[in-house]
Amino acid sequence: MAVSDAVQSAYQNRWFLIDENAQVLEDTDGKTAELSLSIRFAYLVFRAPGMLRLDIPIEVLEDDEEAFEPITLDGQSLRAVNEGELASAWFSNYYGKTVHLMKLHPEDHQALRLAKKNT
């Protein structure tokens, strides 16, 4: 399935994989290159060799500010919400270490998009 440029740009850099230290995951062994990601029926669909697919709803609104936690991206502290135990288990199993899928706070995502656009 092809993802249109408009859809892709709206969601690009909204989700990040982080390690147990709340740092963006560095792919030192090339496993990230083996992941496939598509958008289907308002879900992010992750696939990886030897794994069942993982579907994450895109438009879940987090209205509880306490659900957000800090992550570090390019030396900048941003707010993000953990996409849950199932996603953490899936990515941790795939990478063989603790990994969490985090979704940026809408305000931080917008600020990040603007910063990247201006560079």
pLDDT tens track for 44-75:
999 999 999 999 998 876 767 788 888 888 77
Q: What is the pTM (predicted TM-score) of this model?
A: 0.82
Tally the domains of the chain.
1
Q: What sign results for the dihedral spanned by CA atoms 55, 94, 17, 46?
A: negative
Containing structural domain, residue 36 = 5-117
Copy the structure tokens of residue 87: 């996603």
